[in-house]
Amino acid sequence: QVKKQCDQKLLIRMKTKCVPCSLNLDTQCPAGYTKITNGTGTPDCRYYLEIKTHTLSFLGCRHRCVKEFEQPECCQGHWGPDCIGK
């Protein structure tokens, strides 16, 4: 039995919205994603507050999330929707 389908595993990464670190403990990743950071997340972003005529910038936190996705792909020498060989 020759293997016709060689699906590729892709890792999709994303980050949650930047918020004050103290508010980031309960932040969840979108459905289907797994949170890979702990606690308040990573303090690597800035969020902004507008106060009348000024905009203030603060250091914030966000979480990193990943989702594994399997991309259907034919093995070398096979093609088409059913991965038919030569």
Q: What pLDDT, on a 0 to 100 scale, did the predictor assign at position 81?
A: 85
- Which one-letter amino acid corresponds to residue 37? T
Q: Are the C-beta atoms of 63 and 41 separated by less than 8 Å?
A: yes
Task: Tell me the pLDDT tens digit for each residue of 14-23.
Answer: 999 999 999 9
Task: Tell me the pLDDT tens digit for each residue of 26-76.
Answer: 999 999 999 999 999 999 999 999 998 999 999 999 999 999 999 889 998
Q: What pLDDT, on a 0 to 100 scale, did the predictor assign at position 1?
A: 62
User: In 3D, which of 68, 67, 65 has the Cα closest to residue 38?
Assistant: 65
CA distance 68 to 75: 20
- pLDDT bucket at 82, cuts 50 / 70 / 90: confident
Is the confidence at residue 3, as pLDDT, over 90?
A: no
Domain ranges of the chain: 8-71
